[in-house]
């Protein structure tokens, strides 16, 4: 938070953060964020810092049955990987093609992420389960909605779950749908993946408090 804000301004900002975070990060994440802001800082620390110095495999699975290099799940996976590499604290993220090659060669059942961790020699596996995905609100409106669960498996501790969070109804744009005449479906899907990927990465990477505000306007501009 900027230096010099009065207590009343801080309360307003806290309330804004609460409204935003409560729908996307869960109660635990919200409490962590509010604590950081109350201390007077505008940098939100990662909720889970256990990936530092670890070799991490990122795997995304969708219940839609749609796979391939241009599927929603594959694109989301790559967006999360990019964020972890650019914003994470010394996270050694494995190349997605290496993980995909192992999956293709070993008939993975899309159930046990630990199998991938053992197969590719990862220290940790970040599993992203995508469900109830839709991009349309009616025939002529775009509004993305998804239920998503993020799980980290610690392969150095017998594959135990080290971290898990669920986004039960992530929505973009939050302030209402956009008409299909405003952009193509491919463009909207790319924007939705961009915003969702950043949100997932925030569990593991620090980010600026101000980024939670005007998310729709920033992402949809241009």
Average pLDDT over residues 64-87: 84
Tokens for 108, please give them. 């993975």
Q: Residue 111 burial by CB count (10 A; 0-12/13-18/19+): exposed, middle or buried?
A: exposed
Contacts 24+ apart (CB under 8 A), 96-101: 96/58, 99/57, 99/58, 99/59
Q: Which pLDDT score, from 0 to 100, does residue 43 have?
A: 82
Average pLDDT over residues 83-110: 93
Percent of the chain with pLDDT over 90: 62
Instruction: Band the pLDDT of 85: cuts 50, 70, 90.
Output: very high
Q: Do you know the residue count of the chain?
A: 222
| DSSP character string of the chain | --TT--HHHHHHHHHHHHHHHHTTTHHHHHHHHHHHHHTT-SEEPPS--TTTT-EEEEEEEETT---STTSHHHHHHHHHHHHHHHHSSS-EEPPHHHHHHHHHHTT--SS-HHHHHHHHT-SEEEEEEEEEEEEESSSSEEEEEEEEEEEEEEGGGTTEEEEEEEEEEEEESTT--EETTSS-HHHHHHHHHHHHHHHHHTTTS-EEGGGGTTHHHHHH--
218 in Cβ contact with 191 (< 8 Å): no
Residue pLDDT, tens place only, 20-38: 544 444 455 555 555 555 5
> Higher pLDDT residue, 139 or 155?
155
Which residues partner with 61 through β-bridges?
A: 129
Domain 47-205 CATH class label: alpha beta
> Higher pLDDT residue, 159 or 16?
159
Asked if pLDDT for residue 212 goes beyond 70, the answer is: no
Where in the chain are the domains?
1-45, 47-205
> Higher pLDDT residue, 43 or 92?
92
């Amino acid at each position: 938070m900027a230096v010099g804000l009065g207590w009343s301004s801080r309360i307003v900002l806290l309330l804004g953060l609460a409204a935003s975070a409560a729908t996307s990060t869960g109660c635990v994440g919200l409490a962590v964020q509010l604590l950081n802001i109350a201390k007077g800082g505008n940098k939100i620390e990662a909720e889970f810092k256990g990936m530092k110095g670890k070799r991490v495999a990122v795997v995304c699975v969708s219940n839609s049955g749609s796979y391939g290099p241009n599927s929603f799940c594959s694109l989301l996976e790559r967006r999360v990987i990019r964020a972890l590499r650019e914003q994470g604290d010394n996270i050694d993220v494995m190349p997605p093609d290496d993980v995909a090659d192992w999956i293709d060669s070993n008939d993975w059942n899309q159930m046990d992420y630990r199998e991938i961790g053992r197969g590719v020699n990862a220290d940790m596996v970040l599993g992203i389960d995508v469900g109830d995905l839709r991009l349309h609100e009616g025939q002529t409106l775009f509004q993305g909605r998804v239920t998503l669960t993020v799980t980290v498996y610690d392969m150095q501790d017998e594959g135990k779950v080290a971290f898990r969070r669920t986004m039960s109804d992530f929505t973009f744009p939050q302030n209402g749908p956009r008409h299909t005449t405003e952009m193509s479906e491919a463009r909207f899907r790319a924007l939705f993946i961009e915003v969702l990927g950043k949100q997932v990465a925030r569990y593991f990477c620090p980010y600026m408090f101000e980024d939670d505000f005007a998310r729709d306007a920033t992402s949809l501009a241009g």
